Structure formats: C-alpha cells, structure tokens
C-alpha cells in the first residue's frame, strides 16, 4: 500500500496563460522532487486543449509525449502554415497578425461563428481557434513579422514529429487515460462547459462525463492537481468561466458551512467512498471499471448492480462505485 499521500489541490487561475504557467511550475516541481517524467500526465477534455498546454511545456524545456495524430498534421492547420510560409517569402516584414488573420479566413475560420454541434466542421473550427489562441500567447519577438511567426510555427510542427524518447511528460485526453496510471496527474481546463462538456445535456450524458472525470483522477497514484481558468487571454468582456462542478468531490476538507444544501448533497453523492446505505434499488451509479449501471439489490452491506451488457456485479461499496 502507498499510504497517505499529498492532499489534492484545486487551483483557480486568472486566465489560460496563468493556468499554463502553473501547469509548467507544477510539473517542474514534481520533476525536481524526483518523480520521473514518464510518470507525469496532463489530462484534458478536448483535443484542441492540448495545443497551448503542449506548447507551454515544450517552451519550458519539458519533453512531451502526445497521443494520436500530431496537431500540426491536421489539414486545416497545414493549410494555414503553408499560407503563412508563402506570405513570408513574398513580404517577410509584414505584420504577423494581419497575415495570420488572412490565412485563417482563407482556411474557413470565423472567430465569431463556431459551427453548432460536435461534428467535423466544429473540430476544424476548434483546431484553427486553438492556433489563433496559441499565437496570441506567444512573446512579441515571435509575432512581430510574418517571417518570425512562420518560422516559429514550422519549428513547432517539426517538434510534433520528433520522437519524445524516455523522460517525456504525457499530455492526453481523459478518454485515453482509462487503464493507464501515473504517479502524478494534472487535470487541466477543468471548467463547467469543458468538464462536463457543454454538449452533454441529458442525464445519461452527464453521468458519462462524471464517469470520465472520475476515471481520469483515479489514474493518479500519489499526486493530483486540478486547474481551471476564470477567463481566457485576449477575450475581455465575456462572462467569466465557472469551475467544474466535479471539483467539489476533490475537496473533502472544504468547510461544510460554505456549501449550500444542494452543494452538500452533490458533494456527498460524488464522494470517493459511500456505504451501502447510500444506495437503493433503482438508483443509477457509475463504476470506474464497469461504467454506468443500475442498483437492483442492497443487502448485508453489499450492492448488486446491473451494468447491462456488462452483466451483474455484487460489490462491497468502495471508491470505485459512485451514486449519481
């Protein structure tokens, strides 16, 4: 047994730039304390969220191992980089901001009109929006001219293809965290609308979001930090973001008098352990291995759950079984 570990930390950040700085500082702290880089993971909800986080880590000299196809291999991103490269060849001193705006427009990006839903059109928009956000966070010497910006983005595209080798921090979505475990995990961009996803609207979809979040945080064997940003850089005037409601379950020491009645009940439902008395026949539950299910019987301190195609399972309630 590992014994008592460090307390879970939930960190509020001013905006995504501040959040990225805290992510880098946290990872550096773990590495300095002797946690191997391959035992560190940064977990996020959407693929597009990895772009800026990965850039911040690499810019800090931290090797990163991503998952899936490299971001800069996306067709629409390659199109923008090609347009910037051509512009730089013609007029290298032109302002980078103007060149980028033109290239993004040519690629079909309108910052004010994200497509509805979660299909391919929205994925393309999100990828281009991530590129715009990344460029907006870069220092002035990289964004003064189109030549400087084009060269920097080409370098980042090359980094995407460089084998990380040993000693690389993993950056991955919470979907791909299942079955993997690390010594230390950061759950990032943990805002309402991201976790749970804004696209999750039905009770079943919200329950699946809760299950994904639970599986993600249980991947951390010893160190767990969750971060969320109240705003996004360069986007003033909008409503501030709210932290994920799932974060309440990570703060068991939060004073009870600071929560409303509904908040206390939600925290109890999301706690990491619940006795058999917390369950009743017909209740929906989630299990970190078997997924969503329905309680069919409670007796003698044990709970029998029907997981559908996964069959029935009788268990002693523990941190794996959560009432919804």
- Which among 275, 320, 282, 324 is positioned nearest to 301, based on CA atoms? 275
Residue 261 tokens, joined: 């009645």
* 265 Cβ contact partners less than 8 Å away, ≥ 6 residues apart: none
- d(CA 247, CA 241) in angstroms, rounded, equals 14
Question: What angle separates helix 120-136 from helix 75-90, to the nearest 10 degrees?
Answer: 40
What's the distance, CA 238 to chain centroid? 21
The pLDDT value given to residue 271? 41
Beta bridge partners of 13: 229
pLDDT, one tens digit per residue, over 273-308 is: 456 666 788 877 766 566 667 888 888 778 888 866
What's 181-227 look like in SS3? CEEEEEECCCECEECCECCCCCHHHHHHHHHHHHHHHCCEEEEEEEE
pTM score, two decimals?
A: 0.72
**pLDDT tens-digit series, residues 8-48:** 889 999 999 999 999 999 999 999 999 999 999 999 998 88
Return the structure tokens found at 121. Answer: 């059109």
Strands across the sheet containing 284-287: 312-315, 302-306, 291-299, 284-287, 321-323
């Amino acid at each position: 047994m590992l014994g008592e570990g460090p307390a879970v930390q939930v960190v509020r950040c001013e905006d995504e730039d501040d959040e990225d700085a805290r992510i880098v500082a946290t990872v550096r702290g773990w590495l300095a304390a002797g946690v191997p880089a391959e035992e560190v993971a940064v977990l996020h909800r959407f693929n597009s969220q990895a772009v800026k986080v990965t850039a911040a880590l690499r810019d800090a000299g931290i090797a990163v191992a991503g998952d899936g196809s490299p971001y800069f291999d996306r067709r629409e991103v390659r199109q923008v980089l090609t347009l910037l490269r051509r512009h730089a060849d013609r007029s290298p001193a032109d302002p980078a901001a103007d060149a980028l705006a033109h290239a993004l427009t040519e690629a079909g990006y309108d910052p004010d009109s994200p497509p509805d839903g979660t299909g391919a059109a929205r994925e393309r928009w999100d990828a281009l929006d991530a590129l715009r956000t990344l460029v907006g966070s870069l220092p002035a010497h990289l964004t003064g001219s189109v030549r400087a910006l084009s060269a920097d983005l080409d370098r980042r595209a090359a980094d995407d293809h460089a084998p990380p080798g040993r000693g690389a921090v993993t950056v991955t979505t919470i979907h791909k965290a299942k079955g993997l475990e690390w010594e230390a995990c950061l759950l990032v961009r943990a805002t309402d609308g991201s976790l749970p996803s804004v696209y999750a609207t039905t009770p079943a979809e919200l329950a699946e979001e809760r299950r994904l979040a639970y599986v993600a945080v249980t991947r951390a064997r010893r160190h767990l930090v969750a971060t969320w940003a109240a705003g996004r850089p360069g986007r003033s005037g909008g409503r501030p973001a709210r932290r994920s409601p799932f974060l309440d379950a990570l703060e068991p020491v939060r004073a009870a008098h600071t929560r409303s009645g509904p908040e206390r009940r939600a925290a109890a439902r999301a706690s990491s352990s619940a006795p058999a008395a917390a369950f009743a026949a017909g209740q929906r539950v989630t299990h970190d291995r078997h997924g969503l299910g329905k309680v069919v019987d409670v007796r003698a301190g044990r709970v029998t759950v029907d997981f559908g195609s996964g069959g029935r399972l009788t268990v002693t309630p523990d941190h794996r079984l959560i009432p919804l």
